[in-house]
Amino acid sequence: MDAFLDQEQSGGFMNRNLTLEATRLTEFSALYASRYMGKGDDDLCYRASDEAMWKLLEKVDIDGEIVIGASNRDLYIYDGKKAGSGEGPKAEIAAKPLEGKRTCAFGGNNAISVIAFGSRGSFMRVPPCMMNKIAVGPDAKGVIDINESPSINIKRVARAKKKYIEDITVCVLDREINWPLVEDIRKTGARIKFITDGDISAVISTAIENSSIDMMMGIGGAKEAVIAAAGLKCLDGEMQARVFYNDYFEKTVAANLGMGNPDKIYKTRDLAQGDDILIAITGVTDGVLLPGVKYFSGGAKTHSIVIRQKTHTIRFIDAVHRFDYKPIF
């Protein structure tokens, strides 16, 4: 018991205070974003969540730098910005105040608020381009290969998970660019779960026990790949990814960051390099990983998950926010 308490209380860079702070950041951001759910303005949703997260982040006792944030410097949380009070340990931050802004704006599913902390050098710096990804949880770790066909990967995962192929559920981002992949998956007989926006929650869901998602495949954002890899590393899952360029400009920007080779495979340990990572996620709208914000008379309830790499501890946190006692709007 003493050894357990020592690890829980010290644990190097991360501590229990930062775990709570991380959760407060995503809760606050989710509450603000959810106020604009279904109102049709995705920019308003994102800016509300961005400002809310920053108001708390700048007070956290760390000497932080945002390495995965927005590319737009008109926002609060953008690449390269210093964050925190300046006191405390040096930290890198990967954050998406609102993943799935269109989903939130039009009342869809899977919108989340997410932030990850790590010591310096924890997160790979990537440009705002796309990546082709494949991800699984710990029970299928070591069997996937992004160079193989979807059919072979699905068969391997089914064997590793001791399931029939017809019982495997593959999550895919519903984009035209992924339609050829969808046809290949359908030919195998596997089930498909489509998501309209944001694949971080889908990737992490593959590593959560009793999740309905077995695999995630397809093309999505590179920055989202880094944050999702941070979550998978905490859960001992696996991701493989390759850069995908939409145009020559994206290829040039990627090449300047050493990512000019489209055949290079980036694995979980490449995208999330640190050995002491903490990630917090709060649901904004109902999704595959978490329920969304629920409002009641005088308050709201949020649902969050916090995962720490060093201990592999997963905490599910339901919080009730009473606006009469703690007004936030």
What pLDDT, in 10s, does the model give residues 260-269?
Answer: 788 899 999 9
pLDDT of 3 above 60: no
Residues contacting 210, CB < 8 A, separation 6+: none
Distance of CA 233 to the CA centre of its chain: 12
pLDDT of 311 above 80: yes
The alpha-carbon radius of gyration of the chain (Å, integer) is 19
Residues contacting 209, CB < 8 A, separation 6+: none
Most confident of 37-41, 123-127, 262-266: 37-41
Task: Output the pLDDT for position 292.
Answer: 97
CA distances 177 to 42, 82, 173, 189, 220, Å, are 22, 35, 9, 21, 10
Q: In this predicted model, what pLDDT tens digit does every residue of 185-243 receive, in sequence order?
A: 999 999 999 998 878 999 999 999 889 999 999 999 999 999 999 999 999 999 999 99
Sign of CA dihedral 97, 173, 126, 133: positive
Under 8 Å between Cβ of 137 and 161: no
pTM of the model: 0.92
Residue 304: pLDDT band by 50, 70, 90 thresholds? very high
pLDDT of 8 above 60: no
Residue that has been written with the tokens 């956290």 in this structure: 60
pLDDT of 173 above 90: yes
pLDDT of 62 above 60: yes
Strand partners, 215: 136, 170
**What mean pLDDT do residues 163-192 have?**
96
Check residues 158 and 18 and name the one with the higher pLDDT: 158
Task: Output the pLDDT for position 317.
Answer: 96
pLDDT of 326 above 50: yes
**What mean pLDDT do residues 108-124 have?**
95
Task: Output the pLDDT for position 105.
Answer: 96
Percent of the chain with pLDDT over 90: 79
pLDDT of 166 above 70: yes
**What mean pLDDT do residues 68-94 have?**
93
For the chain, list the domains and their CATH numbers.
2-120+276-322 (3.30.540.10), 130-271 (3.40.190.90)
Q: What are the backbone dihedrals phi and psi of residue 117, each rounded to the nearest 5 degrees, phi first?
A: -120, 145
Under 8 Å between Cβ of 26 and 115: yes
Residues contacting 10, CB < 8 A, separation 6+: none
pLDDT of 284 above 80: yes
Distance of CA 138 to the CA centre of its chain: 17
Task: Output the pLDDT for position 13.
Answer: 57
Residue 299: pLDDT band by 50, 70, 90 thresholds? very high
User: How high is the mean pLDDT of the chain?
Assistant: 91
**What mean pLDDT do residues 133-157 have?**
97
